[in-house]
Amino acid sequence: MLKKTVLTFAFLTILTTFYGFNAQFGAPATEDMLLNDDGATLRNSLLREGDYVISAYDQIIRNISEQEGHDWRLMSAIAYHESRFTPDITSRSGARGLMQIMPSVARQFEVPAEQIINPETNVWLANKLLSKIISTLRLPAGTPDEDRMRIILASYNSGIGHVGDARRLARLYGEDPNSWEVVARYLQLKAEPEYYRNEVVKCGRFTGSRQTLAYVNDVIGRYNRYCRIAGR
């Protein structure tokens, strides 16, 4: 009887904490994140080895990403690259958690900095950031999926400002701003004065193109692997 009471108390504590997080931060669709179509509770908890396909965070990443309309396998690929699924790390630049979220991103979505390290919060912020990038880029409907995904990932890694500069330079020189091949080339050219001093460039010199291109290739490769092993 005592054991049952303790377990019940622990469950209620976890549930209250989760609801408190969503109420405080104004996360959308709180009930949908907790309930499936039949009204059954979804447990956003770590999975044991053997119970997951990609990582112990499969359920957390999948539940939150699907609510935000993003492919959970892509978000998992980002998490692997960013942290190797380590929730409590902080980079030298101050990025934190599974998805390596910067405090500036948390501020955009009115989330206190001390909450960034929480896995659910961290994944939620990454999904919100990806949605904001997509809406800001406004890539045409006819943009090939591969180009679209690579341009979005480059924006996640380097900042949408540098990608926006590369796309403006592409337009200026009569090239396709929705082609990843073209955008990648102008990201590299933004290290040269002839290009980063151009009046269409708003974010100045960019010297991180090699890292960004490697990031995009790595995440895409891992995403393709996760698609093979995880299905939908």
Cite the active site residues.
82
CA geometry: angle 179, 95, 118, nearest 5 deg = 110
Decide if 101 contacts 95 (C-beta within 8 A).
yes
Number of Cα atoms under 13 Å in the Cβ half of residue 128: 19
- Compute the distance between CA of residue 191 and CA of residue 99 in angstroms, rounded to an integer: 27
d(CA 161, CA 167): 10
Q: Hey, how many other C-beta atoms are within 10 angstroms of the C-beta on 96?
A: 25
Q: Which two tokens stand for residue 33?
A: 């994140």
